[in-house]
Chain A
Amino acid sequence: MITTTQLHPDESEHTMPQYLLSVWHDDDYGDADFSDPELQRQMAQTGAFNEEVTAAGAWVFGNGLHSKASATVVRPSNGQVSMTDGPYAESKEQMGGFWVIEAPDLDAALEWARKGALACEGPVEVRPFHGE
């Protein structure tokens, strides 16, 4: 049966789409100097952005990550696991943090990404999560 529910997913049953907004760095930031005024400005801007996302009801989660030197990869192998030091991807670029947001559609998510990128002064990748 075709009903309007199919065309207008019932808001009470249908959760809003969620998007991953990840922030990327071109180099290791492990030895970042937190007294650097540039970094302080970015952190203040990012704090204000976080508040805006929260106030809009779009916030699901968000935080910054320690540098890639802090990463450990755990790999499954025949029911056991092995561990290696360092990040999984051997690329220069690394994810420095991310937000998970709720947005009605891609354009709304891209608008948050625009504001986020300007706040943290770095590129932001937008990816949708699978639905329910």
Chain B
Amino acid sequence: MSDDLASVFRRETGRCTATLIRILGDVDLAEDAVAEAFAIAAERWPVAGTPPNPGAWIVTTARNRAIDHLRRESTRDARQRASHHLHETDMDAEPNPDLDQLDGFVDVVADDQLRLMFLCCHPALSPDAQVALTLRLLGGLDTPEIARAFVIPEATVAQRIVRAKRKLRDNNAPYRIPRPAELPGRLRPVLAAIFLIFTEGHTATTGTSLTRTDLSDEAIRLGAVLVELMPDEPEALGLLALMVLTDARRPARTAPDGSMIRLADQDRSLWDGELIARGHALVQTCLRRDQPGPYQFQAAIAAVHADATSHAATDWPQIVALYDQLRAQRPDPVVGLNRAIAIGEARGATAGLDELALLDTDRLADYQPFHAAHADLLVRADRPADAVEAYDRALALTTNPSERAFLLGQRALAAQPD
């Protein structure tokens, strides 16, 4: 694929698939048709030049090929397929056009992408399936790419996608944007899936760094599309702000040898100023809405970090206050852990340890960051022997080599008498 075509593919494949699903009423048919259209483009564009509206060209070509295929199918097959079609039940949606009367170009409809996001992240699907389907249909990633990115076997990914599509089809899942009353419950898994894609790319545990970076970029792209299509959803804005601000730190997160660098030790001059500015603007927009939610609080916390010229100069009391609010909305032990870490910075290591002791440690027992944070606070509270034990617990739970190297280094420092 030429660079030109590859970039059109990245940008347009999700949009085109989304529109084709509406026109054809079938996910598999739409996917096949879009793939075929891109294959035709790969032959023609280098010779005839890239058309002025590549998306419309792909959608139109894909639709025409799909019609050809359907015409060739026997009536029986067609009837069988019809019974599998997704149901269009959105009263506000444009009616499906009669394929025989459609002439000329078909344009991609922005709303289709939103329909597809809600379909891929239907709450009837497991989070794993939601993520795989989102990457496949909206991101245009193929099964091997998704498998590589998540470091899981290709067969697992393939099975997840096939089962998810079959479940949606067997259940007559509608292709529409949820009604306002349904929206909070339906938006939550969409936001969660996008954030999961982002964190998988950001907290690279294994796999090649290149694929991981692609995942973060794709999550930010999807988040931006969601904000564009649902500009009145403050949590969508919050999610995008959170991802952008976190991503701004990416250049400073890894040493040249690939090992991880903690926030406290990062060279902040490497942070991406443009992304920070974009994130700040998004956070400001959220604040004006005054409908706070978990993603917005996390974005605000990331914004406070971004403002600090050094770790020591961070406004920790502000971060603690934001974690207080976040915890009131989302009382989960990981939020409590991060709040305890912030308290350790704002009020000293002993105060942090006191907070840590109040957490549900049973639920955090297998959570490596809990033991790493505990060890760090113990070092700072001048309890090196306890710290070494906590580092050992953290090390036992670590699979990532760069994290392991980091923890071993910290453990050695703690074990060394001054």
A and B bind: yes
Interface residues of A (CB under 8 A from B): 1-9, 14, 17, 104-110, 126, 128, 131-132
Q: Which of B82-141 contact A (CB under 8 A)?
A: 82-83, 85, 87-89, 96, 98-100, 122-124
A9 to B83, CA, bound (A): 8
CB-defined contacts of B87 to chain A, threshold 8 Å: 17, 104-105
With A7-B99, A106-B171, A107-B182: A1-B71 Cβ-Cβ less than 8 Å = yes
Query: Across the interface, which residues of A come within 8 angstroms of B170, CB to CB?
Result: 128
**Residue from B78, B171, B173, B182 with most neighbouring chain A CB atoms (10 Å):** B171
Q: How far is the CA of A95 from the CA of B334 in the complex (A)?
A: 37
Please give, as numbers and ranges, the residues of chain A lying within 8 Å of B71 by CB-CB distance: 1-2
Question: Do A106 and B172 form a contact, CB below 8 Å, given A2-B67, A4-B98, A7-B96?
Answer: yes
Within the assembled complex, what's the spacing in Å between the Cα atoms of A2 and B26? 14
Whether the Cβ atoms of A104 and B85 lie closer than 8 Å is no
Instruction: Please name 10 pairs of A and B residues whose Cβ atoms are closer than 8 Å in the assembled complex, sorted by A.
Output: A2-B67, A2-B70, A6-B85, A7-B24, A8-B96, A105-B87, A106-B174, A107-B182, A109-B171, A128-B172
Task: Determine how close the nearest CB of chain B comes to the CB of A49; give it in whole angstroms.
Answer: 18
Distance in angstroms from A126 CB to nearest chain B CB is 8
What's the nearest-Cβ distance from chain A to residue B198, in Å?
A: 27
Q: Which residues of A contact B96 (CB under 8 A)?
A: 4, 7-8
B2 at the binding interface (Cβ < 8 Å): no
Residues of A within 8 A of B100 (CB): 2-3
B201 beta carbon closer than 8 Å to chain A = no
Query: Which residues from chain A contact B99 at a C-beta distance below 8 Å?
Result: 2, 4, 7
Q: B25 interface residue, CB < 8 Å from A?
A: yes
Contact (A9, B173) CB under 8 Å given A2-B67, A107-B182: no
6 tightest Cβ-Cβ pairs between the two chains A and B: A105-B174, A106-B171, A131-B83, A106-B173, A6-B82, A2-B70
Q: Are B83 and A105 in contact (CB under 8 A)?
A: no
CB distance from B70 to the nearest CB of A (A): 5
Residues of B within 8 A of A126 (CB): 124, 171
**Cβ contacts under 8 Å, A131 to chain B:** 83
- From known contacts A105-B87, A106-B124, infer whether A6 and B172 are also in contact, taking CB-CB under 8 Å: no
A41 to B87, CA, bound (A): 37
Tell me if B333 counts as interface (CB < 8 A to partner A). Answer: no
Q: How far is the CB of B56 from chain A (nearest CB, A)?
A: 21
Q: Contacts A4-B96, A4-B98, A7-B96; is A105 near B82 (CB within 8 Å)?
A: no
Q: Give every chain B residue within 8 A of A14 (Cβ-Cβ).
A: 83
* Other A-B pairs beyond A6-B70, A14-B83, 19, CB < 8 Å: A2-B67, A2-B70, A2-B78, A3-B100, A5-B82, A6-B78, A6-B81, A6-B82, A7-B82, A7-B96, A104-B87, A104-B89, A106-B124, A106-B174, A110-B123, A126-B124, A128-B170, A128-B171, A131-B83
Q: Across the interface, which residues of B come within 8 angstroms of A107, CB to CB?
A: 89, 173-174, 178, 182
How far, in angstroms, from A3 to B75 measured CA to CA in the complex? 11
User: Of all chain B residues, which has the CB nearest A131?
Assistant: B83
Q: Are B89 and A105 in contact (CB under 8 A)?
A: yes
B112 to chain A minimum Cβ distance, whole angstroms, is: 15
Q: For B83, what are the chain A residues with a Cβ–Cβ distance below 8 Å?
A: 9, 14, 131-132
Give B6 Cβ to nearest chain A Cβ, in Å.
32
Instruction: Give the distance in Å from the alpha carbon of A8 to the alpha carbon of B89 in the complex.
Output: 11
User: Is A105 touching B173 in the complex (CB atoms < 8 A)?
Assistant: yes
**Given A106-B172, A106-B173: A9 and B82 within 8 A (CB)?**
yes
Contact B124 A110 (CB under 8 A): yes
A47 to B: closest C-beta gap in Å: 25
Bound complex: CA A131 to CA B79 (Å): 12
Task: Evaluate whether A1 and B172 lie within 8 angstroms (CB atoms) in the complex, with A9-B82, A107-B182, A131-B83 already known.
Answer: no
A1, A5, A107, A132: most-surrounded residue (chain B CB, <10 A): A107
The minimal Cβ–Cβ distance linking A35 to chain B, given in whole angstroms, is: 37
- Cα distance A109–B79 in the bound complex, in angstroms: 24
Residues of B within 8 A of A8 (CB): 88, 96
Least distance between A17 CB and chain B CB atoms (Å):
5
B386 nearest CB across to chain A (Å): 43
Please tell me if the beta carbons of B124 and A7 are within 8 angstroms of each other in the complex: no
CB closest chain-B residue, reference A114: B185
